[in-house]
Amino acid sequence: MAIKKIFDVLEMDNIDAMRILREVKILRHLNGHPYIVSLEKVIPALNQASGSLINEVYLLCGYVPYDLARLIRSGKLKNGSVPKLTRGILRGLKHIHDSGIMHRDMKPRNILVDENDHVRIADFGLAIGMAAEPTNLINYVVTRWYRAPELLLNNQEYDNKIDLWSLGCILGEMLAKKPLFRGGNAKEQLRLILSVLGKPTEEDTTFVQKAAYRKLLLNMREQERKEFSTLLPTASMEAIDLLKRFLQFHPDKRLSVDTALTHPFLQDSSALDEPCAHDFEARPFVFSTDEEEVPLPAVLDMLAAEVSSASGHPLGSSDSMPSSALDLTKMLTQAMA
């Protein structure tokens, strides 16, 4: 098992506490899918008195030995594994998107991998339901190197296509064995992207919400697109084609998850031996609470109720709560058995 400890909950502001609440809710909603990390149990804090607020929460998740970032850095990632890994990420992402959820932090470190190249998408700390009002969407999400142009251009409205851009960056990193765009800040990140994709056309800037940014893009000096085949000389033409379809500047031009799963790069006989994801019907995730308007005490009450439900016992039942580190160890051991 992997144990994620969330501490000092009572010292958080309402936004951070709401993110913890959403993460638990989303993990429970998606639980059981073969390409998404499993949430096995939620354990409240030590010395939890009846009716008291939670200050620590432990999330017990299924253990997977590696993450994709570590695998790439180690130099042990084989080119033959890239189609299977990409296909697994897409299958997990399809279930996430079909459930009405944006992950909003897709990156190699959040892709867990086992010895058989089976993947599980993890870390839903920034995930959110698609039903959220556009005014509640922040653009400071996704680790910078994997952040889509619409986020770098401060769009306040966006959708799950930001995850598809991130997936393109992940695919490119697997092919190149290093990150494609390593900007030190948002401005440099956008400059690096444009240095490869070239100057956007007027049609490609229609999604940009801020007129000043759109004008800046259209007035930039002419810059030709670089060929990914030159940047990635060892990659196959099928891999290059899939990469180009993900890394489209305009969100609406990016390949959808369903279409990507039929791409020739991902088709081989080994797919028949992989865990079946078709048996898991996506259910809409409904959680539209406005994180900026709910006061912290109310968020903590909702978190306490969620933890109580997820842990399988009432918060007020003192005989089921750990009262020492030894008791916690016993509880964790029982949960892992």
Which residues are marked as active site?
A: 105
CA distances from 78 to 110, 133, 188 (A): 19, 42, 31
Nearest CA among 125, 143, 110, 142 for reference residue 6: 125
Please name the helix (run of DSSP H) or strand (run of DSSP E) that holds residue 5, with its range, or none.
strand 2-6
CA distances (Å), 34 to each of 42, 45, 73, 167, 290, in order? 20, 29, 25, 18, 31
Contact between 137 and 53 under an 8 Å Cβ cutoff? The reply is: no
Distance CA 257, CA 95 (A): 10
Q: What is the Cα–Cα distance from 106 to 147, expressed in whole angstroms? A: 9
Element (H, E) at 335: helix 325-336
Q: Which of 228, 211, 19, 227 is nearest to 124 (CA)?
A: 19
75: DSSP letter: T
- Asked if residue 318 lies in contact with residue 56, where contact means CB atoms within 8 angstroms, the answer is no
What is d(CA 120, CA 141) in angstroms, rounded to the nearest whole number?
Answer: 21
Residue 93: name the closest of 172, 168, 176, 174 by CA.
Answer: 168
